[in-house]
Amino acid sequence: MAEQRKPRNLETREQGERRKNWRRPSALPTPEPRDGLHFRWIRTSLLGQSDNPNVSTRFREGYTPVKAEDYPELYAVSDLDSRFQGNVEIGGLMLCSIPEEIARDRVEGQLANAQNAADAVDRNYLRENDPRMPVLQSERSTRTSFGR
């Protein structure tokens, strides 16, 4: 006796798809990218205490708070005792934006500072170098010989 088979058009991909695993949603929503803007979450409070020095430093760097009405996809209940009403603020963090050029300059400046610090450490370390017993061998060479 022949085996009864289901017609091919009744088989669908949904039946064969794996079950998707649950993943914890992000605590901070990500805004839709906009041309010319870089986004960052800025700390406004820490352990229930307002962090005015951090906020004012970021504002001096060029960050501006993001208005909630400009980003309806980020709608969330903002902090109750927020000093920044009308902005996107979640759990003591406020979403801010800065022009991409300034953000790029800021990153380049931080990289330059880190490179200067690393160079200073190297100079200080290599100051103790003696040619009779070098700390680091600047010239490394290997020789390979075959036979005698």
The whole-number pLDDT of residue 70 equals 81
Chain mean position to CA 49: 25
Q: Which of 96, 95, 91, 78 shows the shortest CA–CA distance to 48?
A: 91
CA distance 112 to 6: 67
Backbone angles phi, psi at 18, to 5 degrees: -75, 155
Query: Does pTM top 0.85 for this prediction?
Result: no
Cα distance between residue 99 and residue 36, in whole Å = 6
- Residue 112 vs residue 87, higher pLDDT: 112
In sequence order, what are the beta bridge partners of 46? 49
